[in-house]
Structure 1
Amino acid sequence: MTGRSGGGRGGGRGDRKGRPLPKNIIPTGVLPKDDMVKFRGDSGLDDGNKSLVGGYYDSGNNIKFSFPMAYTITLLSWSVIEYHPKYEEIGELDHVKSIIKWGSDYLLKLFIHANQTSPSSTTLISQVGGVSNNKTSTDNDVNCWQRPEDMRYERPVSSCDETASDLAGEIIAALSAASLVFNEDKKYSTNLTKTATDLFDMVTKEDPGFVQGMYTTKDECGGQAREFYNSTGYKDELVWGGTWLFFATGNATYLRYATENLVSAEEEESSVDKGVFYWNNKFTANTVLLTRLRFFIDLGYPYEESFILSNNNVDSLMCSYLSHTTHKTQGGLIFLKPDQYAPLEYAATASFLSKLYSDYLAVLHKSSSSCTNGTSFSVENLQDFSMSQVNYILGDNPMEMSYVVGYGNNYPKHVHHRGASIPWDNQWHSCAEGSTWLNSENPNPNELLGAMVRGPDWNDMFLDQRDKPWFTEPTISSNAGLVAALIALHDPPHSSSSMNGAEALGIDNSGIFHNIHFI
Structure 2
Amino acid sequence: MVWASAVTAGTVEVSEGSSSLQATGYADALGKAILFFEGQRSGKLPPGQRVTWRGDSALSDGRLENVDLAGGYYDAGDNVKFVWPMSFTVALLSTAAVEYGPLVSAAGQLGHLRTAIRWGRTSFYAPTHLRRHSTPRGVFVAQVGDGNSDHQCWMRPEDMDTPRTLYKITSSSPGTEAAADAAAALASASIVFRGVDANYSANLLAKSRTLFDFADKYRGSYQQSCPFYCSYSGFQDELLWAAAWMYKATKESRFLRFLTDNQGWSSRTNEFSWDNKFAGVQVLLAKEHAAGATGLARYKTDADAFVCSLMPRSSSLQIRTTPGGLLFTRDTANIQYAAGAALLLSLHARTTSSAGGVLCGATAITSSEISAFAKSQRYPTQVHHRGASIPSVKVLPGKIGCGQGYSAWYSAAGPNPNVHAGAVVGGPDSGDRFQDVRSDHSRLEPATYINAAFVGAVAPWPAAPPSCNTAAPAAPSQAPSSEGPRTAVYCEGGLYSKLNGFQFTPNQCLHP
TM-score band (shorter)?
Answer: 0.7 to 0.9
After superposition, what is the alpha-carbon deviation per residue over 1:57-90, rounded to whole angstroms, capped at 9, x for unaligned? 0000000000000000011101110000011101
How far the C-alpha of 1:265 sits from its partner, in A, is 4.2
Instruction: Look up the equivalent residue of 2:460 and give its one-letter code.
Output: A
Paired position in structure 1 for 2:373: 385
Q: 1:150 to 1:120 in 2, by over 3 A?
A: same
Q: Which moved more, 1:24-33 or 1:319-328?
A: 319-328
Q: 1:341 to 1:5 in 2, by over 3 A?
A: closer
Paired position in structure 2 for 1:181: 192
How far the C-alpha of 1:237 sits from its partner, in A, is 0.4
Q: Verify the 8 A CA contact 1:68 1:229 in the aligned structure 2.
A: no
Local SS of the residue matching 2:150: coil
Residue correspondence of structure 1 range 24-43 to structure 2 within 5 A: 24-25=36-37, 26-43=40-57
CA distance in 2, matches of 1:147, 1:35: 17
Aligned residue among 104, 114, 129 for 2:132: 114
Instruction: Look up the equivalent residue of 2:286 and give its one-letter code.
Output: T
Aligned residue among 391, 396, 420 for 1:423: 391
After superposition, what is the alpha-carbon deviation per residue over 1:166-217, rounded to whole angstroms, capped at 9, x for unaligned? 1111001000000000102121111111111122222323xxxx5x222131
How far the C-alpha of 1:252 sits from its partner, in A, is 1.0
Q: Verify the 8 A CA contact 1:213 1:233 in the aligned structure 2.
A: no
Q: Verify the 8 A CA contact 2:94 2:189 in the aligned structure 1.
A: yes
Q: Which moved more, 1:460-469 or 1:15-24?
A: 15-24
How far the C-alpha of 1:259 sits from its partner, in A, is 2.2
CA distance in 1, matches of 2:141, 2:212: 16
Residue correspondence of structure 1 range 434-449 to structure 2 within 5 A: 434-435=405-406, 436-449=408-421
Q: 1:129 to 1:11 in 2, by over 3 A?
A: closer
Instruction: Look up the equivalent residue of 1:414 and give its one-letter code.
Output: Q
Instruction: Look up the equivalent residue of 2:365 and give its one-letter code.
Output: F
Paired position in structure 1 for 2:506: none
Q: Percent identity?
A: 32
After superposition, what is the alpha-carbon deviation per residue over 1:259-314, rounded to whole angstroms, capped at 9, x for unaligned? 21121242xx7xxxx22111001111111111101112x133xx2xxx22112112
Paired position in structure 2 for 1:511: none
Paired position in structure 2 for 1:214: 221
Alignment: residue pair count: 432
Local SS of the residue matching 2:168: strand
- Give me the TM-score of the superposition, normalised by structure 1: 0.79
Aligned residue among 343, 354, 364 for 1:352: 343
Paired position in structure 1 for 2:164: 155
Aligned residue among 292, 306, 322 for 1:329: 322
CA distance in 2, matches of 1:177, 1:113: 22
RMSD: 2.4
Q: 1:122 to 1:231 in 2, by over 3 A?
A: farther
Residue correspondence of structure 1 range 194-209 to structure 2 within 5 A: 194-205=206-217
Q: 1:309 to 1:490 in 2, by over 3 A?
A: same
After superposition, what is the alpha-carbon deviation per residue over 1:136-178, rounded to whole angstroms, capped at 9, x for unaligned? xxxx422110000011333111111142111111001000000
* Structure 2: gaps spanning 5 or more residues: 12-23, 466-512
Instruction: Look up the equivalent residue of 1:369 and give its one-letter code.
Output: V
Paired position in structure 2 for 1:313: 302
Q: Does 1:288 align with 2:283?
A: yes
How far the C-alpha of 1:12 sits from its partner, in A, is 7.1
Local SS of the residue matching 1:124: strand
- Give me the TM-score of the superposition, normalised by structure 2: 0.80
* Structure 1: gaps spanning 5 or more residues: 133-139, 394-401, 403-412, 494-519
Q: Verify the 8 A CA contact 1:29 1:43 in the aligned structure 2.
A: yes
CA distance in 1, matches of 2:151, 2:440: 15
Residue correspondence of structure 1 range 468-507 to structure 2 within 5 A: 468-491=440-463
CA distance in 1, matches of 2:50, 2:186: 25
Q: Does 1:458 align with 2:430?
A: yes
Q: 1:30 to 1:143 in 2, by over 3 A?
A: same
Q: Does 1:129 align with 2:123?
A: no
After superposition, what is the alpha-carbon deviation per residue over 1:442-487, rounded to whole angstroms, capped at 9, x for unaligned? 2101011000100111121111111110110000011111111010
Instruction: Look up the equivalent residue of 1:191 and give its one-letter code.
Output: N
Q: Verify the 8 A CA contact 1:131 1:156 in the aligned structure 2.
A: no
Aligned residue among 182, 188, 194 for 1:171: 182
Paired position in structure 2 for 1:507: none
How far the C-alpha of 1:230 sits from its partner, in A, is 3.9
Local SS of the residue matching 2:36: coil
Paired position in structure 2 for 1:498: none
